[in-house]
Each structure stands twice: as C-alpha cells, then as structure tokens.
Amino acid sequence: MLGIGLKIASVFVFVAMSAIIKGAEGVPVGQLIFFRSAFALVPVFLILGLRRQLVDGFKTNRLGSHIVRGVLGTSGMILIFFGLTRLPLPEATTINYATPLFIVVFSAVFLREKIRLFRWSAVVVGLVGVIIIMWPRLTFLSSDAGTLGPQAVGALAAFAACMVSATAMLTVRNLVKTERSATIVIYFSLVSTVIGLASIPFGWVPLSLEEALILIAAGICGGVGQIFLTESYRHAELTTVAPFEYSSMILSIAIGFLVFREVPTIEMLIGGSIVTAAGIFIIYREHMLGLDRAKVRKVSSPA
C-alpha cells in the first residue's frame, strides 16, 4: 500500500509539473528545460545528503552511457514540453501513454526480445487508441495557410516524444544493471541542465520574480516526483504500481478543466480508455511472464 501511495503521489506531482509548464506561456522550451532539470536536483541532493549517499551518487564508470541517456531523455522532454504548450493537458498526457507501447516495439527490434502475439496485439490496439486521440488535431493544413496547424504540430511532437522517451528507457534498462538509481537521476538532470543552458543564445525571456518562482517550483516538483517514483519501487513490485500511472488521465482532466477550462473531447476519452487498457494488459502480461520465468528457475535450480 505504501508503494501504491507513493506511485499515486508521484503521478500527482508530475501532472502538477506539467500544468505549470503548460501555463508558462511565452517561455522558450530550452528555458523551461533548464528550470525543470536544475531545480529537480535540489530535493534529490537533499535526500542523498541526508542518507550520506551524495558522493556515491556521482561515482560511475559509464559516463558516456549517462550522457547518451541524458541527451535522449532531454530530447524527449523538449518534445513533450512543446506538445504541452500546444495541446490541452489531458490530450498531451494521454498521448504520452504510447511510450510503453514503443518500448515493446523497440525491445523486439533492437534488443531481439521475443514478443508474443498477445503483446503485439495490445501494441496495435493501443496505437489505434493514440491515433483516435490525435485525429481531430491532425488537420494537416490550416484553413488560412499552407502550413501545419499548431495543434497538429503539438500532437505530432507529443507522439514523437513517446518514441524518443522509449529509446531513452531502453538505455536506462541497460544502465540499471550496473548503476545506482540516484546516479542515473543525477547525470540525467545534469545533462538536461547543460542542454537547457546551451539554448540561451536562441533567446531566453526575462522573468518576473513570481514567474521564476513558479518555474523553480516546477523543477522541484520534477525532483520530488522522481523520488516518490523511485521509492514506490522499493516498497512494491513494478507490475503492482505501474497501472496507477494511468490515474494521471483523471488528474489531467480535472486540472485541465479547473485551471485551463479545457473540456475533454469524446475522441480523447475513447482513445485514452483504449490505450490505457492496452497498457495495463501489457503490464499484466509482463507480470505473468515474470511468474512463469520464476517457476522455471525454481524447477531448474538444484535442490
């Protein structure tokens, strides 16, 4: 129950962070990346300092892999933030549910993992759900200009973010074999901070004290959410807490309506339900396969 509670808390904090980012109208994405990443380190460093693990958090023999993971993760974050600024919050949130679907696809393509018919079927159904969500926004040509409409660009960016984030997650899957969770979080945040700072020549905007504090709060939310997420995996199995990720759809609908006066479309509700069901089915299949593998190991192990 503690693991589930921490997972739900992480979902709430991440949705709050997304709402802050969405509300930061006019702030360049690179500037948002800097605040999100730099100030996420504050709670992470605080927790590690209290545990006397801060120095150990920087120790690694795989700096190159951390940089690659950081570049991929930051690229996904840029696309996600771009989509958030152009789409209603619930739609941007539910499109992101395609990430686990692409993890399955890329695991089969790049890691040669054996994916059976049930999971492939769930992937196809889930992607259909994402297309249903995006379809009303994909009016590729605006009525008054021969260019992509802003919401179509936002939807495509959010969809592309899922593919990039899935690739980043595969690098994390490799890193966790040898690296501490704190080390992965620290180097990701550091790489993202540097990339955010590198965007200064492309034009940052001056912020009032209130605006700066709000963006700092977004960064701290990101760090706190990461801590909650990591701790949830200490107290419960991944397959137990993972389905609660989909509670973000309910939270984003509520915040979108109350804060931004966004009313969810019927396509978003239908598509979101489909992709949620597909994601939960994939989690269930992973759980069952894990039990099967455990039984095989138990039978084959010497008495």
- Could you state, in order of their start, the residue ranges of all structural domains in the chain? 2-300
Compute the distance between CA of residue 161 and CA of residue 153 in angstroms, rounded to an integer: 12
- Site of tokens 């949130």: 93
* Amino acid, single-letter form, for residue 251: L
Place 238 in a pLDDT band, splitting at 50, 70 and 90: low
Angle of CA points 87, 79, 261, to nearest 5°:
20
Compute the distance between CA of residue 256 and CA of residue 86 in angstroms, rounded to an integer: 13
pLDDT tens string 199-237: 999 889 999 999 999 999 999 998 898 888 877 877 777
Compute the distance between CA of residue 188 and CA of residue 15 in angstroms, rounded to an integer: 20
The candidate with the shortest Cα–Cα distance to 22, out of 91, 83, 87, 84, is: 84
Mean pLDDT across the stretch 116-130?
89
Question: 169-172 long-range CB contacts below 8 Å, 24 or more apart?
Answer: 169/99, 169/103, 170/103, 170/106, 170/107, 170/110, 170/111, 171/65, 171/68, 171/69, 171/72, 172/69
Mean pLDDT across the stretch 74-102?
91
For residues 182 and 188, the model is more confident at: 188
Give residues with Cβ within 8 angstroms of 285, minimum separation 6. Answer: 118, 119, 122
pLDDT of residue 204: 93
Average pLDDT, the chain: 85
Compute the distance between CA of residue 61 and CA of residue 83 in angstroms, rounded to an integer: 35
pLDDT of residue 290: 62
Q: Which segment of 70-79, 87-96, 119-128, 179-188 scores lowest on mean pLDDT?
A: 179-188
Compute the distance between CA of residue 286 and CA of residue 282 in angstroms, rounded to an integer: 6
- Site of tokens 């199995």: 237
pLDDT tens string 35-50: 999 999 999 899 888 8
Element (H, E) at 287: helix 266-300
Q: Which segment of 208-217, 257-266, 281-290 scores lowest on mean pLDDT?
A: 281-290
Q: Are 27 and 215 in contact (CB under 8 A)?
A: yes
- C-alpha distance from residue 216 to each of 31, 200, 226 (Å): 11, 17, 15
For residues 93 and 230, the model is more confident at: 93
Mean pLDDT across the stretch 128-155?
74
Q: Is 206 helix (H, G, I), strand (E, B) or coil?
A: coil
Compute the distance between CA of residue 42 and CA of residue 48 in angstroms, rounded to an integer: 10
Burial class (CB in 10 A: 0-12, 13-18, 19+), 5: middle
Share of the chain above pLDDT 90, in %: 42
pLDDT tens string 3-18: 888 888 989 999 999 9
Other C-beta atoms lying within 10 Å of the C-beta of residue 301: 7
Pair of tokens at residue 1 = 């129950």
